[in-house]
Amino acid sequence: MKKLIDFDKEGFKKEVITNVKTLYRRPIEEATPQQVFQAVSYAVKDDIIDRWIATHKEYEKKNVKTVYYLSMEFLMGRALGNNLINLTYYDAVKEALDELGFDLNLIEDQEPDAALGNGGLGRLAACFLDSLATLGYPAYGCGIRYRYGMFKQAIKDGYQIELPDDWLKDGNPFEIKRPEYAVEVKFGGYVRVENRDGRNYFIQDGYQTVRAVPYDVPVVGYGNNVVNTLRIWDAEADQEFCLDSFDKGEYEKAVEQQNLAKTIVEVLYPNDNHYAGKELRLRQQYFFISASVQRAILKFKEKNSDIHNLPDKVTFQMNDTHPTVAVAELMRILMDEEGLEWDDAWDITTRTCAYTNHTIMAEALEKWPIELFSRLLPRIYQIVEEINRRFVLKIQSMYPGNQDKVKNMAILYDGQVKMAHLAIAGSYSVNGVAALHTKILEERELKDFYEMRPEQFNNKTNGITQRRFLLHGNPLLASWITDKIGDEWIVKLSNLKKLKVYATDEKYQQEFMNIKYQNKIRLANYIKEHNGVDVDPRSIFDVQVKRLHEYKRQLLNILHVMYQYNELKTNPSYDMYPTTYIFGAKASAGYKRAKLIIKLINSVADVINNDASIKGKIKVVFIENYRVSNAELIFAAADVSEQISTASREASGTGNMKFMLNGAVTLGTMDGANVEIVEEVGEENAVIFGLRAEEVMKYEREGGYNPKDIYNNDAAVRTVLTQLINGMYSSDDPDRFRDLYDSLINEDVYFILKDFASYVEAHRKIDTLYRDEKNWAKMVMLNTACAGKFSSDRTIEEYAKEIWNLKKVKVTLD
Ligand code: B1H
């Protein structure tokens, strides 16, 4: 890797030694790996700080437009390795630590993942921050400093157990507390009107307040001295908890405030693609939004005298509907604090806010009961009511007499606040996250809104950062690529297309496949260490890692494994290439069926892995606690990328892109960004199966299909289904998996049986393709070579130009 930033190795080593001494009163020889991790991180932070200061000086000097990426989730993973990579001296630090007698890999392993997110949506936010900094765009990430992040998953007797993720227990060396930027956030109470100088002022009274205190985390750009900020908010009780108040009989009130503050940021809700409607969740939303928007306005006012210019200097990008109270909060600040009239405030707000939609899953739609919303946020609710009143008038004037339009588009309806409708009404841009997803939004899900204002809609196909998911996660492949085409791909991923010429050359094919093999050994070692299962790195590594959700169809995958096992046992002529099926998935703690699917996967693994008669032809591995840090190992080692969601349901997917980049072949449906992956790499270099989105949606319009027809006509399916209830995988409790059986036979909402035959066929095709080593190598290499489009750098350039209107900034150190 080219060093773009100077590194003083001896100075660095000295600093690490000093840090161990001052932090832990120990000589380095006696330091634990965790202590070395902390000491190294503080040394790295020192280097980051100067750049961080320089970056913000530049932003202030130029008075640049800034995007505030508002998100309930930032799934950052580990920081140390990534920061070293982006400071361009990862290798130099590795060497320095070697000389001190430490292995950087082991030191990195001391760091807990910052798991402030569930899955794709949170990881996308993290990739976006990396790209924004690397491209030199002024940006803040704004979120919550959850005391506990995504739970840690343990597997016990095949069942998922959730353990608290105490990620802050050893301290977070990269963050900086900024008490000087604390603000107050108000909950509850009532609103009274006060007339001053002939104007009505709305005053919230009788409320409870929470102090929002920001912690800043540096986001280092690649080799460019830019350091942006992820600002995550902690909550503290507003008044000092003093025993004095006990005498005044206010002790209880003080305790209550303390608790209110503590609970707000206590834990991340572990739901992916699911709305639970909990009051505390709405508190979390308003808490971080009010704090972030207040701060942004204060900052704007430091350099700008006319609030009307806000849209020229700020965009609030709302990551799904979770931050949508931002629309009303901005209105509140503009009117109640800045003294603007409604029309003025609305004009500014709707030129400042923008909304990204990430899902069409009905169960993910946020609809807050008005009773709850208005009780918790009385002034905000008043504003939402007025937004709704005016919006409904607009609908009625565009479509006179059309009650359906009002019913489908109103923000307040049926006693609920519909957050997506508020987000659309309050935004100048609405975007989907892959071409197919955006098309479905426009033509179906948000059709009425699209027809009302088509120019508001646009697509921004997701992307991923190659710095983490190739340069850091797959160092062997990264240096091979750099060897062939230079290292500019690190900031310009489209350069990978230059690799195409190597894909047909046998020598390079061997080199590439040897790297894949080394990465498979690395993963096999991880699996041995963490699962105690031996897997053969020569087998096909067929991988499905993502959150567990019915629509993602892990059930289809494991049913197919059961089918193959049956073939091996009963059909003497059945021939299959040895395959290791690798799963990794967390299920939301309250999602029973998802948890049962995890148990099924582990039960199938138990039976098959212990059956010597099949000679190891199939192995099934469930990797415990799938998260960003082990994902990096998994993507690098995969041969086959399972992307098998029911067509139309996966808005984009981003794991699919990480696999492709690392040279895996997609086995998938025509869903989300898979469609664009196939477009880039060519149909012959992916294996596609199953119903198309159009077909799925047609069935749905017509009331579904009848899974019993398939059960009755397909003996192989029948056998597999029967094995769910005959105790084959649950001898101690044959009824354990009956719920899965019933769901498939009676409804099969996700078209698992409908797609089964086609999925079997797709696997046969993979088997055949894999045996043709040269062609397989070519396919794999073309996947890497054609992954350029899926860099989050490309995505962010599109957002910056087409939505945010941001200008790049150059930062130099003096
Ligand atoms: C995605 C979510 C999500 N879409 C609600 N929606 C949540 C919804 O806590 N909640 O209430 C949490 C997450 N997550 C994912 O976003 C999509 O399913 C993926 O297809 C997409 O790639 C990803 C990023 O756009």
Per residue in 722-733, pLDDT (tens digit) is 999 999 999 999
The range of the structural domain enclosing residue 342 comes to: 64-78+113-243+251-361
Tokens of 172: 């977070």
Which residue's CA is the nearest one to ligand 1's atom 9? 271
My answer on whether 568 and 495 are in the same domain is yes
Taking the centre of ligand 1 as the mean of its atom positions, its distance from the CA of residue 121, in whole angstroms, is 5
Residue 627, domain member (yes or no): yes
My answer on whether 106 and 148 are in the same domain is no
Residue 49, domain member (yes or no): yes
- Ligand 1 atom having least distance to the Cα of 120: 23
Which residue's CA is the nearest one to ligand 1's atom 5? 273
Are the C-beta atoms of residues 236 and 285 closer than 8 Å to each other? Answer: no
Residue 716, domain member (yes or no): no
My answer on whether 616 and 686 are in the same domain is yes
My answer on whether 48 and 160 are in the same domain is no
My answer on whether 127 and 58 are in the same domain is no
- The pLDDT of residue 6: 85
Taking the centre of ligand 1 as the mean of its atom positions, its distance from the CA of residue 153, in whole angstroms, is 20
Question: In this structure, how many other beta carbons lie within 10 angstroms of the beta carbon of residue 768?
Answer: 12
Which residue's CA is the nearest one to ligand 1's atom 24? 121
Domain end point (choices 326, 361, 396): 361
Residue 802, domain member (yes or no): no
Q: Which segments of the chain have a pLDDT < 50?
A: 1
Place of tokens 């205190």: 213
Taking the centre of ligand 1 as the mean of its atom positions, its distance from the CA of residue 695, in whole angstroms, is 23
Place of tokens 């130009």: 801
Structural element, H or E, at residue 412: strand 412-413
My answer on whether 297 and 332 are in the same domain is yes
* CA gap 68, 315 in Å, rounded: 6
My answer on whether 639 and 672 are in the same domain is yes
Place of tokens 């029911």: 646
Instruction: Output the domain CATH number for residue 346.
Output: 3.40.50.2000
My answer on whether 668 and 623 are in the same domain is yes
- The pLDDT of residue 3: 54
Are the C-beta atoms of residues 684 and 663 closer than 8 Å to each other? Answer: no
- Ligand 1 atom having least distance to the Cα of 650: 20
Place of tokens 């503590």: 262
* CA gap 502, 495 in Å, rounded: 13
- The pLDDT of residue 814: 79
Are the C-beta atoms of residues 520 and 637 closer than 8 Å to each other? Answer: yes
Using alpha carbons, list the distances in angstroms from residue 637 to 78, 451, 512, 559, 665. Answer: 20, 46, 12, 23, 12
Residues with CB under 6 A from ligand 1: 118, 120-121, 124, 269, 271-275, 320, 358-359, 364, 433, 462, 650-654, 672
My answer on whether 213 and 184 are in the same domain is yes
Residue 124, domain member (yes or no): yes
Domain end point (choices 327, 361, 395): 361
Residue 356, domain member (yes or no): yes
Taking the centre of ligand 1 as the mean of its atom positions, its distance from the CA of residue 433, in whole angstroms, is 10
My answer on whether 648 and 550 are in the same domain is yes
Strands (DSSP E) along 180-261, which ranges? 183-187, 190-196, 199-205, 208-220, 227-237
3-state secondary structure of 151: coil
My answer on whether 646 and 593 are in the same domain is yes
- The pLDDT of residue 245: 52
- The pLDDT of residue 250: 73
- Ligand 1 atom having least distance to the Cα of 322: 11
Place of tokens 């506990």: 148
Residue 449, domain member (yes or no): no
Residue 444, domain member (yes or no): no
- Ligand 1 atom having least distance to the Cα of 672: 20
Taking the centre of ligand 1 as the mean of its atom positions, its distance from the CA of residue 272, in whole angstroms, is 6
Domain end point (choices 342, 361, 380): 361
Are the C-beta atoms of residues 451 and 409 closer than 8 Å to each other? Answer: no
* CA gap 182, 215 in Å, rounded: 10
How many domains does the structure of the chain reveal? 3
Annotated catalytic residues are 358, 546-547, 552, 654, 658
My answer on whether 315 and 186 are in the same domain is yes
